[in-house]
Amino acid sequence: MTSIHKFKIEGLEGQEIDFATFKGKKIMVVNVASECGYTSQYQQLQELYEEFNHKLEIVGIPANDFGGQEPGTNSEIQTFCKRNYGVSFPMAAKVTVLGEQAHPIYKWLTNKTQNGVIDSEVKWNFNKFLLDEEGYLVSYHPSSVSPIDESILNWLMN
């Protein structure tokens, strides 16, 4: 079984986000979009990050796979997130999260043969993948589960 720590992804500002630097912290990977009914979850993600950043990394990964709800450029996405939600957690550059064109992180997250835990399908924006301090996948939560849902808070407390 491999860990997410083997992955790197380009950040919104062109910098590299290296998941290996998150060793020892829990990680939440979320596919995000600026024009979605769940976009207000940015606020909850930011609150969660502010409270738990000593033991949690959140990585927002913009994608335009669902209804064209992330049409912006990386620069526009960054401006939107900072201006409207004060986002300070790491944000990746926009990628695809579905199908053959999916970013390798999403191929790993959604395939049990790669992550060793579960097969899942990203069905909309704001899906949450939770990983432990060693970078191993623990669980998957669909869009309808709030970032501050009791199940996620309980995971953070353990």
Catalogue all structural domains in the chain, each as residue range(s) with its CATH number: 4-157 (3.40.30.10)
Model confidence at 140, in pLDDT bands (50, 70, 90)? very high
User: What is the average pLDDT across 31-59?
Assistant: 97
Residue 5 DSSP label: G
Residue 58: which H helix or E strand, with range? Answer: strand 56-62
Residue type at position 142: P
On the question of pLDDT at 3 being above 80, the answer is yes
Catalytic residues: 36
Q: Are strands 128-131 and 56-62 parallel, antiparallel or unpaired?
A: unpaired
Percent of the chain with pLDDT over 90: 98
On the question of pLDDT at 2 being above 90, the answer is no
On the question of pLDDT at 1 being above 80, the answer is no
Contacts 24+ apart (CB under 8 A), 75-82: 75/12, 77/12, 77/34, 78/12, 78/13, 80/34, 81/34, 81/42
User: What is the average pLDDT across 37-41?
Assistant: 97
Closest CA to 136 of 104, 109, 103: 109
